Structure 1
Amino acid sequence: MQDTVAVALITSLSTLAAAGLTGLVGALSTRRQLAHQLTVARQESVERRATRRDELRRDAYVGFLSACDQAYRQLDRRWLEAGGSEPVPGYDEAYAAMRAVDEAYNLVLLEGPAAVESVARSVLTSLTLEYADQRRFRDLPGDAATPLRERHRERWITAIEARTKHRISFVDAVRPVLDGGE
């Protein structure tokens, strides 16, 4: 009888030990799987945020360039206008285009990075100076029938060169950011 009890006891203990060992191995395996899933979820979250940031930046940069193009078109129209004695309205189409550039610049400020913000500020400053020059030139005495571009040809050429230089600088600053550099 003692042999039977001993065999039963050994069988019970070995079964319990096997169950405990199986449970421990299962728990460790589950822990590793959960840790891996958590790591994967974090990486996916980081990638989604990076993708979203890149999309927002791209939209901000494209919006800024589009607003600049519209402002350049308005400034070009003003260069081709003949002066006159009529009062210049404080809020004209060129001014509205300049305000749109300001608003697009605000998005660039929010999306960054600092290198792009700096170049965008240079573009905005250049546009603002050109706009101010046009308003000042229009008020100067001279042949009112002659377009501003003809009366102030050197300044017009300088403005066009500045536009080109600043636009290229902005695109050069943006490309590495959009390519994942920052």
Structure 2
Amino acid sequence: MQDTVAVALITALSTLAAAALTGLIGALSTRRQLAHQLAVARLESAEQRATRRDELRRDAYVGFLSACDQAYRQLDRRWLEAGGNEPRPGYDEAYSAMRAVDEAYNLVLLEGPADVAAAARSVLASLTAEYADQRRLGDEPDDSAVPLRDRHRERWLAAIEERTRRRISFVDVVRPVLDREG
């Protein structure tokens, strides 16, 4: 009978040991799977955040360039219009366009990076200088029936060249940022 009890005890202990070992292996395997799933979820979340940031940056940059285009159109209109003694509505439209560029610039500042914000600031400074130059030249006592472009051809050509140079510089800084993120 002692042999039967001993065999039963050994069988029970080996069954318990096998069950414990199986449970331990299962727990370790589950832990490893959960850790892997957590790492994958974190990676996907980081990729989604990066994709969203890239989209916001691209939208901010495109919005800034679009606002600049609108301001350029208003400034071009002011270069080409002949004035008179009546109030000039083009000044209000150009001012509104300049404000839109300021708002778009704020988004570029928020989205960054710093080198893109600096290039945008350069474009904005160029636009502001051209706008101020037009205001000053338009207020000079002169033949206001002649468009500013014709009265100040060198300044007009310099303004066009400057805006083109600054815009290209902005795009040259933006492209690597978008390529690096894409």
- Measure how far apart 1:91 and its partner are: 6.0
- Measure how far apart 1:85 and its partner are: 2.4
- Measure how far apart 1:83 and its partner are: 2.6
Note the residue ranges of structure 1 that are not aligned, 5 or more in a row. none
Note the residue ranges of structure 2 that are not aligned, 5 or more in a row. none
**How do 1:37-48 residues align onto structure 2 when only pairs under 5 Å count?**
37-48=37-48
Identity %: 82
Q: Cα deviations across residues 13-42 of structure 1 (Å, max 9, x unaligned)?
A: 000000000000001101111111111111
Q: Give me the whole-angstrom Cα distance separating, in 2, the residues matched to 1:137 and 1:87.
A: 15
Q: Which amino acid aligns with 1:72?
A: Y
2:54 maps to 54
Q: Give me the whole-angstrom Cα distance separating, in 2, the residues matched to 1:155 and 1:105.
A: 25
Is the partner of 2:127 in helix, strand or coil? helix
- Measure how far apart 1:81 and its partner are: 1.1
**How do 1:1-182 residues align onto structure 2 when only pairs under 5 Å count?**
1-88=1-88, 92-180=92-180
Q: Which amino acid aligns with 1:93?
A: E
Q: Cα deviations across residues 57-90 of structure 1 (Å, max 9, x unaligned)?
A: 0000000000000000000000001132234469
TM-score normalised per structure 2: 0.96
Contact persistence 2:84–2:145 (CA under 8 A): yes
Q: Which amino acid aligns with 1:170?
A: F
Is the partner of 1:180 in helix, strand or coil? helix
Contact persistence 2:54–2:178 (CA under 8 A): yes
Q: How many residues align?
A: 182
TM-score normalised per structure 1: 0.96
Q: Cα deviations across residues 41-65 of structure 1 (Å, max 9, x unaligned)?
A: 1110110000000000000000000
Q: Which amino acid aligns with 1:166?
A: R
Q: Give me the whole-angstrom Cα distance separating, in 2, the residues matched to 1:97 and 1:46.
A: 37
- Root-mean-square deviation (CA, aligned residues, Å) is 1.5
Is the partner of 1:130 in helix, strand or coil? helix
Q: Which amino acid aligns with 1:33?
A: Q
